[in-house]
Structure 1
Amino acid sequence: MTGPSITVERDGPLTIITLARPEAHNALHAAAHEELAAAFDAFAADPDQWVAIITGAGEKAFCAGHDLKQQASGGGMATPPSGFAGLTARFDLAKPVIAAVNGVAMGGGFEIALACDIIVAQSRAVFALPEPRVGLAALAGGMQRLPRAIGLKQAMGMMLTGRRVAAEEGMRLGFVNAVTDGDVLALARQWAADILACSPMAVRATKDAVLRGLDTPAEQAMAEQWSYPALEAMLLSHDAAEGPAAFAEKRAPMWKGC
């Protein structure tokens, strides 16, 4: 699957989505948003796809955010109902998504990464929410997700100044999981492989319960988790029986994702 602005590759149960506008630092215009929304719709709906990676083409940019040239020419700022890049408002996606940040992640580009479950970065990557510098605000989840990821004061320090944060500092602050001097997509594939070694049903139940419980007292969240759809599906799944059986028989489990 390809489009003018993105490419989509499937490698077994792994989907790799690449922003393919390197000449524009992978900034997103209206058509790119729609292509990405369709790609994530397909990933979410396909029972054979268990993990996704999103990355950018070229060595300079992961995503420079919204295409301001399009906006300046009257193109507007409309995004799909599922949010910036078809991802930032997709709150019902229980499957894990990894951001492989290969370069600059500015504004909406940083918000794409923050909407992912894991962020791995090339050492040259730079992150910022610089919207106030151009008279705007980070309206695709940045103002909500960054404080949850690194705490209020550190997030305010970034957001109120629009300052740029290098990959290593991002890891120290806590929003980056790992940094490499080499191929960031290869690193993301390693993380994906570790996730794929687990039951996809258990992975989805874990993500769903964690995100639902973030703003809920622990006692309440622990009581309510039994009614979460992903956890109910895990408990009734083939995988829930296969895991203990494989352990007892000293063999690798054969996950079915159902």
Structure 2
Amino acid sequence: MGALITFEREGRICTLTLNRPEVLNALNHDVFAELRQAIESIKEAGDDIGCVILCGAGKAFSAGHDLNDIAGGEELEHADFEASTLEALASLPMPVIARVHGYCFTGALELALAADLIFIDDRTKLADTHSKWGLTPVWGMTQRLPRRVGLAKAKDMMFSSRTIEAVEALEIGLADRVFTAESLVEETRAYAELVTENSAESHRVCKQILENSDGLRIHEGLDLEYTVSPGACADMEERVARFTAKSKKKTA
């Protein structure tokens, strides 16, 4: 991968790191181009990668979209590419965790919202500041934010541009876990390892059903689950056999 996104694999865990620390990982088109390449590499790896961690180098996850990009007209020129890149991230078959620290504003929040889970530290600050700058969302904020926090809370964040700190982020569901700044990396890694112990096929099927049933009435969603879910995955027999073998050893 190029210098703006670093790509690291340890076992079945892949870590993607935004790597513009000198500008608090501000997002521009070049960052998204390298992110798209990384996402394609992850898709090609298939079940060899069981979990993805998305994070930022230096003092912050990301301060948001690079204002120099916006001032130069890049916002409109590349909006479709950036939006489709976030959709590609959201559509990865394995769980994706955004490990967020420091700042996570506007475009960076849209990026984090494309992950399945958002883990933050207790010093993190998050906000949607589109209205502060006279902008409207084009990377998915109006759709992903209310699905996380509810319509009223999303309106509050979008209309006020106010900063959300860690305690409130957890309370409203904007963050899924809050750790200390010192333990965020370790705790996120431990969770990712837990994820990779489970069935990749199960994760893939569940993500597909959850995404495709979003917005459906419950009976329509249930019909989809009954139709799409195989019930037993290809590794089910092996996993059950391992468990029963361990149980027999304990009782012997």
- TM-score of the aligned structures, taking structure 1 as reference length: 0.87
CA-to-aligned-CA distance 1:141-160 (integer Å, 9 cap, x gap)? 11111111111111111111
Change (3 A) 1:76 1:140: closer
What is the CA-CA distance between 1:74 and the residue it aligns to? 4.3
Distance 2:90 2:50 in 1: 17
SS at 2:160's partner residue?
A: coil
Task: Write out per-residue CA displacement over residues 119-173 of structure 1, whole angstroms, 9 at most, x where no aligned residue.
Answer: 1101111111101110102221111111111111111111111111012210011
Q: Between Structure 1 and Structure 2, how many residues are aligned?
A: 244
Cα deviation, 1:213-246, whole Å, max 9, x if unaligned, reads: 2211222212212443xx44x7452x12222222
What residue in structure 1 maps to residue 238 of structure 2? 242
Instruction: Report if aligned partners of 1:9, 1:17 keep a CA contact under 8 Å in 2.
Output: yes
For residues 79 and 196 of structure 1, what CA distance do their matches in structure 2 show?
33
- Is 1:213 matched with 2:213? yes
SS in 1 for 2:146: helix
Letter in 1 for 2:202: A
Task: For 1:51 and 1:105, locate their aligned partners in 2 and report how far apart those are by CA, in whole Å.
Answer: 22
Give the letter aligned to residue 246 of structure 1.
R
Query: How many angstroms apart in 1 are the aligned matches of 2:83 and 2:183?
Result: 28
Shift of 1:247: 2.2
Unaligned runs of 5+ in 2: 248-252
* Post-superposition CA distance 1:82-125 (Å, at most 9, x none): 627x3245453221100000110001101111111111101111
Task: Report the Cα distance in structure 2 between the residues aligned to 1:12 and 1:155, rounded to whole angstroms.
Answer: 37
For residue 254 of structure 1, what is the aligned residue in structure 2? none
Structure 2 SS opposite 1:27: coil
The residue type paired with residue 10 of structure 1 is R
Cα contact 1:34–1:80 (8 A) shared by 2: no
Secondary structure (helix, strand or coil) at the match of 2:168 reads: helix
Secondary structure, in 3 states, of the residue corresponding to 1:203? helix
Q: Name the CA distance, whole Å, in 1 between partners of 2:50 and 2:33.
A: 22
Structure 1 unmatched runs, 5+: 252-258
Q: Which residue type is aligned with residue 2 of structure 2?
A: G
Q: CA RMSD in A?
A: 1.9
Letter in 2 for 1:179: V
Deviation at 1:32, TM superposition (A): 0.8
> What's 1:193 paired with?
193
User: Deviation at 1:188?
Assistant: 1.4
Pairs within 5 Å for 1:6-85: 6-47=5-46, 48-59=48-59, 61-77=60-76, 78-79=78-79, 81=81, 83=83
167 and 141 in structure 1: CA distance in 2 versus 1, 3 angstrom threshold:
same
Q: How far, CA to CA, are the matches of 1:178 and 1:14 in structure 2? A: 19
Provide the residue aligned with 1:130 in structure 2. Answer: 129
**Hey, what does 2:250 align to over in structure 1?**
none
TM value normalised by structure 2: 0.89
What SS does the corresponding residue of 1:83 show, helix, strand or coil? Answer: helix
Check conservation: 1:30, 1:79, Cα contact below 8 A. no
- The structure whose residues are more often helix, as a share, is 2
* SS in structure 1 at match of 2:175: coil
Q: Kindly provide the amino acid, as one letter, of the partner of residue 167 in structure 1.
A: A
Amino acid at match of 1:129: D
Q: Is the 8 A contact 1:129 1:138 kept in 2?
A: no
